């Protein structure tokens, strides 16, 4: 079955030399001319409605973003997160495209969809934008799925930064399990091991040491993500797909390679088939090296459609990986896996 994709390049959402810029998508048009295009279908983005945004965000916050953008350019948090005229329309289109991707999966039209959108979403909390994110695209689509009768949702966030906004929006909902693997000690500073003790075994944070790469993520997949999926038995798997965990990324120091992203996508896709009724929705988050972003999205799509991995032009990380085995074992005990 093909994978459905929506692309929101948001050319008007652009500010000086900010890393979250339209140039991130400069190479993505190539996807339509590669052989993999035969395995993809395209979803037409549409803007999210205010009622859809309000399932996650306060109406006051939505109005603030609209007004700040209208009067922009402006910086709305210290990350820095910017708005310019056109940012509000871009952000609601990113959210709407993500909803449409999830609905395509829930309708049975496809089993897997990828919302390749910007601005990203996973740092945006219910009452404020932050971390380059205006509205939380994934959380909005999850709430839409729950409103349509889905009973249980598992979210895996592999962006290099903690998915604080998604956690804040959904951590109190027993229908949702959330796992974030991210680099320890970087923005936004949250996502430490024992952060949500009341949701032990359901809200799982894995703050990784610098240079954690393909081997560490493979271990996390087998030792934590797989048992959590099998015990939680979700109806659908959502993935915050952030490619700033690639070793070349200019704003982080993790160690995944393009081959590592391929292997992770293949493993998550297999897990969706085993434990989430085959349903999987991916949403783009970070990834700030435009060439690597294209290659990593291409590798992800190749894994999702069952093609062999494309060439890994940058190769593996040159840094040795840290040993996380003892730390991970302690965390598994704490969460009860
Ligand atoms: Zn990130």
| Model confidence pLDDT, tens digit, residues 272-303 | 999 999 999 999 999 999 999 999 999 999 99
Per-residue model confidence (pLDDT) at position 8: 98
Tokens, residue 188: 């936004």
**Averaged pLDDT for residues 53-66:** 98
Angstrom distances, CA of residue 22 to CA of 6, 74, 159, 277, 282: 16, 17, 19, 35, 20
- SS3 label, residue 240: strand
CB 103 within 8 A of CB 281: no
pLDDT for residue 313 is more than 90:
yes
Ligand 1 centroid, distance to 225 Cα (angstroms):
20
Tell me what the mean pLDDT of segment 152-175 comes to. Answer: 98
Q: Is residue 181 over pLDDT 90?
A: yes
CA–centroid distance, 108 to ligand 1, in Å, is 31
Cα–Cα separations (whole angstroms), residue 198 to 50, 126, 225, 334: 31, 20, 19, 12
Query: What CATH number belongs to 3-335?
Result: 3.40.800.20
38 CA to centre of ligand 1 in angstroms: 30
Question: Per-residue pLDDT tens for 218-268?
Answer: 999 999 999 999 999 999 999 999 999 999 999 999 999 999 999 999 999
Average pLDDT over residues 145-162: 98
Ligand 1 centroid to Cα of residue 286, in Å, is: 4
Q: Coil, helix or strand for 265?
A: helix
Q: Catalytic residue, from 123, 128, 246, 335: name it.
A: 123
Mean pLDDT estimate for the chain: 97
Sheet containing 3-8, strands listed edge to edge, beginning at the edge strand earlier in sequence: 40-42, 3-8, 112-117, 280-284, 236-241, 153-157, 176-183, 203-208
What is the model's pLDDT at position 256? 98
Give me 168's structure tokens.
Answer: 């804040």
- Residue whose token pair is 């900010």: 18
Average confidence (pLDDT) over 170-199:
97
pLDDT at position 1, please? 80
Ligand 1 centroid to residue 160 C-alpha, Å: 5
Q: What is the whole-number distance in angstroms between the Cα of residue 109 and the centre of ligand 1?
A: 30
Whether cis (ω within 30° of 0) applies to the bond prior to 60 is no
Instruction: Verify whether residue 182 is a known catalytic residue.
Output: no
Tell me the whole-structure pTM to 2 decimals.
Answer: 0.98
Which residues lie closer than 8 Å to 257 by C-beta, 6 or more apart?
213, 214, 246, 247, 312, 314, 315, 316, 317
CB 104 within 8 A of CB 34: no
């Amino acid at each position: 079955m093909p994978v459905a994709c929506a692309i929101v390049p948001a050319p008007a959402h652009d500010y000086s030399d900010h890393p979250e810029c339209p140039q991130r998508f400069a190479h993505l048009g190539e996807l339509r001319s590669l052989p993999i295009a035969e395995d993809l279908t395209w979803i037409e983005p549409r803007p999210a409605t205010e009622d859809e945004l309000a399932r996650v965000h306060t109406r006051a916050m939505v109005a603030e973003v609209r007004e700040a953008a209208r009067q922009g350019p402006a910086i709305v948090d210290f990350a820095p997160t910017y708005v310019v005229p056109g940012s509000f329309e871009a952000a609601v289109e990113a959210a709407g495209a993500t909803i449409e991707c999830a609905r395509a999966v829930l309708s049975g039209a496809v089993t897997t969809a990828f919302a390749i959108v910007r601005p990203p979403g996973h740092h945006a909390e219910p009452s404020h934008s932050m971390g380059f994110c205006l509205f939380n695209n994934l959380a909005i689509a999850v709430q839409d799925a729950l409103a349509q009768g889905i009973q249980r949702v598992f979210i895996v966030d592999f962006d290099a930064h903690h998915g604080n906004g998604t956690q804040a929006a959904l951590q109190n909902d027993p229908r949702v399990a959330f796992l974030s693997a991210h680099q320890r000690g970087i923005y936004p500073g949250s996502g430490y091991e024992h952060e949500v003790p009341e949701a032990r075994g359901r809200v799982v944070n894995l703050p990784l040491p610098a240079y954690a790469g393909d081997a560490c993520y493979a271990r996390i997949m087998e030792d934590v993500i797989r048992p959590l999926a099998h015990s939680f038995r979700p109806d659908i798997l959502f993935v915050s797909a952030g490619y700033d965990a690639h070793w070349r990324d200019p704003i982080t120091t993790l160690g995944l390679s393009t081959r590592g992203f391929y292997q992770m996508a293949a493993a998550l896709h297999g897990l969706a088939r085993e434990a989430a009724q085959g349903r999987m929705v991916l949403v783009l988050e970070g990834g700030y090296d435009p060439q690597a972003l294209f290659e990593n999205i291409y590798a992800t799509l190749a894994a999702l459609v069952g093609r062999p991995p494309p060439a890994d032009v940058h190769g593996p990380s040159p840094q040795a990986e840290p040993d996380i085995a003892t730390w991970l074992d302690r965390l598994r005990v704490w969460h009860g896996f």
